[in-house]
Amino acid sequence: MTKRGIFRRLLSLLLVAWALGFFWFAMFLPQPVIEPVRTDGVVALTGGSGRIPHALDVVEKGRAKRLLVSGVDREVRPREFAVEYKVPERLMACCVTLGYDAVDTRSNAVETMRWIRENKLRSIRLVTTDWHMRRAAFDLAAEAPDSLIIVEDAVQSKPSFRILFIEYNKLVARLVAWMIGW
């Protein structure tokens, strides 16, 4: 077999693996937690509808003591956030931290780990949209010590093919980058 023939077969194998992976990714999205689950803290990543209200509900029901909202726009003030999400003043004062440092999923993980260390948490619930959960959980686990318990709590959505396609390729790129040490 020629080098060209080997290259074609290898490329075909990679394409089939990519397509099967995409099918799995799109058909078996992560699910919400089956309650009741208690953790020391909960982290909501900004960027998708339902994430912040769900995380606030977790804290209000006593299933976590603290909440980090990671990736908040720098122009959003705590008071504005509280009004937007109807957060009682007592809850904002004791339990809600707005994280302004994250600009993407990897920096969400860094910001989250800093908050976890500052608060000496041993378990957290990660709240993000179902299509985003795999990459977010991967990045957080890559930053976290093995002893940290991470509970994945996906907010269900109805993502378009475009969103699934883009997110799957971001996940593949992230996994490849991790494998080569980036």
**10 part of a folded domain:** no
Residue 79 has what pLDDT? 95
Residue 8 has what pLDDT? 87
Domain count, the chain: 1
Chain segment 75-122, per-residue pLDDT in tens: 999 999 999 999 999 999 999 999 999 999 999 999 999 999 999 999
Residue 91 has what pLDDT? 93
Residue 96 has what pLDDT? 97
**141 part of a folded domain:** yes
**124 part of a folded domain:** yes
Domain extent at residue 134: 41-179
Which CATH number goes with the domain that contains 154?
3.40.50.620
pTM: 0.91
| DSSP states of 105-116 | HHHHHHHHHHHH
Residue 86 has what pLDDT? 95
Residue 7 has what pLDDT? 83
Residue 155 has what pLDDT? 97
**78 part of a folded domain:** yes
Task: Report d(CA 177, CA 182) in Å as an integer.
Answer: 5
pLDDT of 172 > 80? The answer is yes
Chain segment 132-157, per-residue pLDDT in tens: 999 999 999 999 999 999 999 999 99
Chain segment 26-70, per-residue pLDDT in tens: 999 999 999 899 999 999 999 889 999 999 999 999 999 999 999
- Residue that the structure tokens 């726009």 belong to: 73
Token output for 74: 């720098």
Residue 5 has what pLDDT? 79
C-alpha 163: how far from chain center? 15
Helix (H, G, I), strand (E, B) or coil at 92: helix
Average pLDDT over residues 14-34: 95
**63 part of a folded domain:** yes
Residue 89 has what pLDDT? 92
Task: Report d(CA 131, CA 74) in Å as an integer.
Answer: 25
**32 part of a folded domain:** no
Confidence band, pLDDT 50/70/90 cuts, at residue 171: very high
**87 part of a folded domain:** yes
**18 part of a folded domain:** no
